[in-house]
Amino acid sequence: MKFWCYLVLLSVVLLVSCKQNPKKHISLIGTWVSHDCILKINDTTGKKTDSALFDVNTILNCSINKKGDSILIKREYRFEQNIETNTYKYGFKILNQTDSVLNLKLVSGNASIVSLKKDSAIQFIRDKYMKDETIKLEKIIFLSSGGYGSVSWLNMVIDSNKEIRYEANFDDKNRSGIFKGLLNDSFYKELINILQTCDLRNLSANNIVEFDAGNQIIIAYFNHQRKGILYFQPPVILNKLVNFLNKVYKIADIHSTKEKIEIEGAYSEIRDISRPK
């Protein structure tokens, strides 16, 4: 009798415990970031089309449908002079998910669109967990050329004192020459925020650059480290940083100077960005 009473009591305790501590549901809703893709998921029923998949080449307005451990991303579009609607579908399997990390494997679809090979895995981080406030900027160098016979180029450096210096040759001769100045607090805070949210520590770099190809180079010095990043077309996770660097010299408080600016990597036809010169 005592055994049965004990068994009943234990069952009641376990039942109450389960009700008080239900398994937490982890939502897919939100923005998930990887180096080459960004998933903005507003709905997982396939009924809305306000979700989006970004990759290095394409912005897709999609519908996203989740069933079990599978995600189907569907895109429909029509060319202007084409009556027929084209549909692309991409199937992913959820390998694992926490509130901060989402690991997916592409199992079907046009792999080239999403910068993935079939059956390859990709890890996403929820955007609110991306910030690394330990990143302390020392200086950042931005080198850009039009390539393929273009005579336009830009060599720029911004340091931790908010000083910006650049030398450039543009079609707009008012912006060509040597310039220096200061970033205001707002612009500098924007730069720091971007650097702290682009997974700077883990970005990979291709070390040898043929400058005639029109590549752009970012060399970041931070926390006594150096990171050289080469791209012809930047990975999605770098878009905000590239956009900032391409605009900041136009809007910063600068003035022309005859002071020669020595910028690492400038003027070389072929550059090895794996180490400082």
**pLDDT tens readout for residues 129-178:** 999 999 999 999 998 876 544 567 889 999 999 999 999 888 777 778 99
Edge-to-edge order in the sheet of strand 225-231:
225-231, 216-222, 137-145, 153-159, 163-169, 177-182, 253-256
Q: For residue 196, is pLDDT > 90?
A: yes
Higher model confidence: residue 176 or residue 61?
A: 176
Could you list the beta-strand ranges (E) of 213-277.
Answer: 216-222, 225-231, 253-256, 270-272
Q: What percent of the residues of the chain are helix, what percent strand, and what percent coil, each to the nearest 5?
A: 25, 40, 40
pLDDT at residue 271 above 90? no
pLDDT interval class at 210 (50, 70, 90): very low
Under 8 Å between Cβ of 244 and 178 = no
Domains of the chain: 30-129 (2.40.128), 137-272 (3.30.1560)
Higher pLDDT, 195 or 227: 195
Structure tokens at 17: 């415990």
Question: Which of residues 99 and 88 earns the better pLDDT score?
Answer: 99
**Which tokens hold the place of 181?**
């100045």
Place 21 in a pLDDT band, splitting at 50, 70 and 90: very low
Rg (CA), the chain: 25
pLDDT at site 208:
42
pLDDT band at 45 (very low <50, low <70, confident <90, very high): confident
Residue 277, pLDDT score: 52
β-bridge partners, 64: 73
Specify the pLDDT at position 207: 44
